[in-house]
Structure formats: structure tokens, C-alpha cells
Chain A
């Protein structure tokens, strides 16, 4: 009885996994179909495969090339992630290894800023950017994404740095190691996987962001999600192209997410769950 039930649970889990993955699998399959085969009812599962959807997405059909948008997204995500690390690492250090007084209060202040909806600050940011001539400038998004991800990064890294045993640091100090040596030789190796996961999660959030990018960028600095909004209204046969575009633009996030899989939940729950 027990074995039957265990196998039953396994089968059910497999079934659920396949159901949840089905839309993505179907999107992938459709992206390799010709437009004529993509838009059929009933669906054509066995139609010939082609790269036309991808060619169309990358501009072979005379549409706008996605490369500038992808490059903008890469700049916004990578630069803001780097900036987040530069700001969050010292802060996390001051909240874990050498804690300031009332460090939990400071930690919770960081968290509370994340809980205010970003949309409420959008208008002043827009007016400021307009006055300062920063509209349609990718570096404005870099600054904003940094502020969005900073609280998450501080929380995550605080919890990762707190895992470094104090005794090990003390021992290195007693042996006469100076702080830079302690940081690079003792703290970094232990905390590095956590720091990497933090970076990946910040990258994902920046890459995904739509609202601010949509309002604050135009032709020059548009990001990949904004480029995707061009597909909201359908015109003609474009299903394979939409699928190709969605997949290509999601690939960096899928890659980063699977790479950070083990630490994903810790980041998303702001370090509350390990």
C-alpha cells in the first residue's frame, strides 16, 4: 500500500511538473514553426521545424532590430548589479561580521523600503528626469534598479556573511592577517556562493522590470521587456516571432535562475527562509 502511494505521489508530481511546463514547451515548439503552422486550430504538433521565427525576431522581416534593446537591458542589469554589490557588501559587513549597534533595526529599515510600492514614486522620478534631461537615458534605470535591489541584496548578503564563523576570522587576526587579507582569504571563499546567488537574483529583477523602463525610456534606451510590449497588439501572422522573442529575452533569466536555484528561495524571501 505504502509503495503504491509513494509511486502515486511521484506520478502526480511528474504530471504537475509537465502541466506547469507545458506552456513553455509549447512556446518553444511554436517558435520553431513557420507562421502558417503556428496559427492553426487544432494545433499542429508535427509541423516542419524552421528558424524563420528567430530570423524575423532579429529583424529579417524589416522590423526593428532587438539588439539595441538587448544591449540596453544588459547594461542596465549588469551595471546595477555591480553597483548593488559595491554598496551592499560593505553594508552587509557592518551588519554581520562587525555589527553596528542596533543592527537589526537598520536591517529592517532596508527591508521596509522594499515594501513600499515602486509605482508611488514613479511620478516624481519622471518629473525629476524630465527636468534633468535624463529621460531615455539607460543610466537613470541603472540607479533606479540599484535602489530596488539594494534591500534584497543587503538582506541576503547579511545572512551569507553571518554564516562565516567569527572564530575563523578571529584566528586569522591573531595570526597577524590584516583586514584585506582576512576579507579575501577567509571571508570571501566562504561567502562567495552566496554573493554569486545574490548577484544573479538582482540581475533577474533588473532584467524583468517593465514599469519604470516603459515610462522613463523611449527610442534610445528602451529595454528588452519594453521591446516585447511591441507585441501586445497582434498584427497579422506573428505567433512564431512572438514565441521566439519571448524565449530569447527570457533565456538570460532562465539561465541565471537555474544557476541560483539553491539560493533562490533565500533571496526571494529576503533571507527569511534558508
Chain B
């Protein structure tokens, strides 16, 4: 690939007669174009198609009956009790998982920021949950931990004579959330640990010399410094978890009131063949994500500009 870009980018430097400015500008842009064109074609065009389809009444089983219905699908999505419920479920699931894993991740990052014997091993142990294939992790929770008859949770509870509940049917959403918190806490921990390690050590030393205690340093120096890392973790986590499909699909198959929007989109076209409705639901997911993304881009951008100006 360097072979294809090399002649183009080399010309401005090597050529004795310099080509016109416009040509040189294109030569600089050329290496960028394949990636840009590819990305626009594969990711942006489908969104446009989704938007168009969302205005049609279109059931794949009756393709002849396809017709333009304007905003009818949106009205249906927003008034349908199940779909409205799935919007609520998505919000609840995302917020609960992000907050819980952020708090846990912060505690773990603070612990790991200290020196102790075997820190590298503990770090590795803590990262591991994030590196289990999501479907495998969901199966692990569903069958190996939650199962009421032979799951580990009830098995351990058995020793202390505790209750033997059926975790998934008693608290289905919580069951999904806990498994996701387990997987996402390492992610938050890694981001926050990077934040902790980029603190200004001299400033902390100076504060300590001036008699500041651990708690004061944490509240007045560490937390303000971590603020943007917390924001970044929360927003990136939200973007990934809003889209979660694997855990809902595996642990509850969208039943018991745990169907979130991605699952609903999947179900409405894959099982109910309602293309128009699925697209309208998809557009709603996009709008929700855009709100999140605007904030996320702002945070990334401020961190990014700091990095660039530091360099």
C-alpha cells in the first residue's frame, strides 16, 4: 500500500519542477481517500436508507403492500406500549450499568494506583472479564452462575443456608445489568487508572508538604483532575452499552421486560418482518445516540486538544 501512495506523496519533495499547488493538495489528500470513501459507503449510506424506509409501511411478508405513510411509523413506535417500554428499558439499563461500573471502576483504579505486592497480577485478573467474548460471558452468567438448581450463586448460598432464588425470573433486568457491570468495570478502571497516573505528582507532593491529608488531596486535586476521565468513561460506556444486544439476547432473549431498543429493532424486522417499524425504531436509537455523541465528541475533543498542545 505504501507502493501506491508513495509516488503521489513523494512528488512535492523530490520533483525538480514542482507540480501546481492544487495537484499537490490532492497528493496530500490521496492516502486519506480510500478510507473515507469506504467508510461513507459502508456506514453512512445504510443510515440514509434506514431513514427513507422509516417513512414506509412495509412488511417484508407482504412486499406488494408497501406504501408511503409519512410519520406513521414514528407515531406507532412512540405510542406502542412495548416499544415505549423498550425505550425506558434502554435508558435504565444504560444508566445503571454505566454508573455502577464507573463507581466500581474508580474504587479499583484507586486501589491499583497504590504500590503493593502482585499489582501486575491483580491488574491482569481485573482486566480478564472484559476479555471474555460477550456471548460467552452472558452464557456464563445465565447458566453457570444464575441457574437456580446448579448455579454457583445458589451453590454458595447453600453453604450458609441462604435462599435459593431463580435470579433471572425474579429480577431479570438486574441480572442482565450485573453481568454487564462485571464486563464493563475493567474498562472504566483502565480509563480512570490512566487518568490517575497522569496526575501532577509534584503538585500532590507540594500539597502533602503543606499538610493536606489523603482525603483532602482526593477531593481537591484528584477528583477535579479525574472529572474529564470520568466523563469520557461514562460517555464511551454509554455509547457501547446503549447498543448492547448480546447480553439481552442471551440471558433473557428480550423477555421479562428486558428488551432494549437494539433487541426490539432486531426483533421487529428479523421475526416480525416489519421493515418500516424497525427502521423508525432504529432512527430513534440514532437520535438518542447523537445526543450522547455530541457530548462525547466534546469531551474527546478537549482531551485531544490538550494532548496536541502538550506535544
Partners in one complex: yes
Q: Is the CB of A272 within 8 A of B300?
A: yes
CB distance from A260 to the nearest CB of B (A): 10
Contact B242 A121 (CB under 8 A): no
Shortest beta-carbon contacts, A-B, top 5? A10-B116, A90-B31, A121-B46, A124-B49, A246-B136
Mark each residue of chain A from 173 to 216: 1 if its CB lies under 8 Å from any CB of chain B, else 0.
10000111001100000000000000000001001101100110
Q: Is the CB of A39 within 8 A of B131?
A: no
Chain A neighbourhood of B68, CB < 8 A: none
The yes or no answer to B215 lying at the interface (CB within 8 A) is no
The answer to whether B282 and A119 touch across the interface, beta carbons within 8 angstroms, is yes
Q: A13-B116, A117-B289, A273-B232 are in contact. Are A173 and B125 (CB under 8 A)?
A: no
Size of interface on A: residues with Cβ below 8 Å to B: 109
Q: Which residues of B contact A93 (CB under 8 A)?
A: 5, 9, 31
Chain B residues with Cβ below 8 Å from A114 are 239
Q: Give chain B's interface secondary structure class.
A: helix
- With A6-B114, A115-B296, A124-B50 in contact, do A91 and B129 touch (Cβ < 8 Å)? no
Please list 25 pairs of residues, one from A and one from B, whose beta carbons are closer than 8 Å in the complex, sorted by A's number: A13-B114, A21-B129, A23-B140, A43-B155, A117-B242, A117-B285, A119-B245, A119-B266, A121-B49, A123-B53, A124-B45, A124-B46, A154-B35, A215-B266, A232-B142, A232-B249, A246-B140, A247-B136, A253-B131, A268-B191, A269-B232, A270-B236, A270-B300, A272-B304, A273-B229
Q: Smallest Cβ distance from B57 to chain A, in angstroms? A: 15
Q: How far is the CB of B132 from chain A (nearest CB, A)?
A: 5
B275 to chain A, nearest CB (A): 6
Scan A85-97; emit 1 where CB is below 8 A from any B CB, else 0: 0111111011100
B136 surroundings in chain A (CB, below 8 A):
225, 228, 245-247, 249-250
- Asked if B289 contacts A116 (CB within 8 A), the reply is yes
Chain A residue contacts of B262, Cβ below 8 A:
117, 119, 211
Q: Does any Cβ of B come within 8 Å of A47's Cβ?
A: no
Let me know if B301 and A121 touch, CB within 8 A: no
Q: For B129, give the chain A residue with the smallest CB separation.
A: A20
Contacts of B187 in A (CB 8 A): 268
Residues in chain B near residue A43, CB distance under 8 A: 150, 152, 155-156
Contact of B269 among A18, A91, A126, A159 (CB under 8 A): A126
**Contact A24 B128, CB 8 Å, known A13-B111, A38-B150, A268-B187:** yes
Contacts of A232 in B (CB 8 A): 139, 142, 249-250, 253
Please tell me which one of the listed residues B111, B112, B130, B300 contacts residue A257 in the complex, with CB atoms under 8 A apart.
Answer: B130
Question: Does chain A have a CB within 8 A of B43?
Answer: yes
Q: List, in ascending order, chain B residues with CB within 8 A of A178's CB.
A: 6, 10, 14
For the complex, give the distance between the alpha carbons of A120 and B282 in Å. 4
Are the CB atoms of A250 and B143 closer together than 8 Å?
no
User: Measured between C-beta atoms, what is the minimum distance from A170 to chain B in Å?
Assistant: 10
B116 touches A115 (CB 8 A): no
In the assembled complex, A46 has its CB within 8 A of some CB on chain B: no
B residues contacting the other copy or chain, number (CB 8 A): 121
Is A98 an interface residue when CB atoms closer than 8 A count as contact? yes
Contacts of B303 on A, CB cut-off 8 Å?
A: 272-273
A110 B39 Cβ-Cβ under 8 A: yes
CB < 8 Å neighbour of A150 from B38, B285, B286, B311: B38
Query: Taking CB as reference atom, which chain B residue is nearest A5?
Result: B214
- B31 to A229, Cβ gap below 8 A? no
In the bound complex, CA of A18 to CA of B270 (Å): 40
Knowing A21-B125, A228-B135, A265-B191, the reply to whether A10 touches B270 (Cβ < 8 A) is no
A129 → chain B, closest Cβ, in Å? 11
Residue pair B275, A123 in contact (C-beta under 8 Å): yes
User: Is the CB–CB distance between A91 and B32 below 8 Å?
Assistant: yes
Q: Which residues of A contact B2 (CB under 8 A)?
A: 90, 179-180, 183-184
Residues of B within 8 A of A214 (CB): 249
Contact residues, B132-166 vs A (CB, 8 A):
132-137, 139-145, 147, 149-152, 154-156, 158-159, 164
Beyond the given pairs A23-B141, A90-B1, 14 more chain A to chain B contacts, judged by CB atoms under 8 angstroms and listed by A's residue number, are A6-B114, A6-B116, A14-B116, A21-B126, A41-B158, A91-B34, A93-B5, A106-B36, A123-B265, A151-B39, A211-B245, A232-B139, A265-B194, A270-B300
A228 lies within 8 A of B139 (CB): yes
Q: Is the CB of A26 within 8 A of B144?
A: yes
- In the complex, whether A221 has a CB less than 8 A from a CB of chain B is no
Is A49 on the interface with B (CB-CB < 8 A)? no
CB–CB A20/B128 < 8 A? yes
A143 CB–B CB distance under 8 Å: yes
Residues of A within 8 Å of B299, CB to CB, are 272
Bound form: Cα–Cα A111–B30 in Å: 20
Let me know if A118 is at the binding interface, CB within 8 A. Answer: yes
Residues of B within 8 A of A150 (CB): 35, 38-39
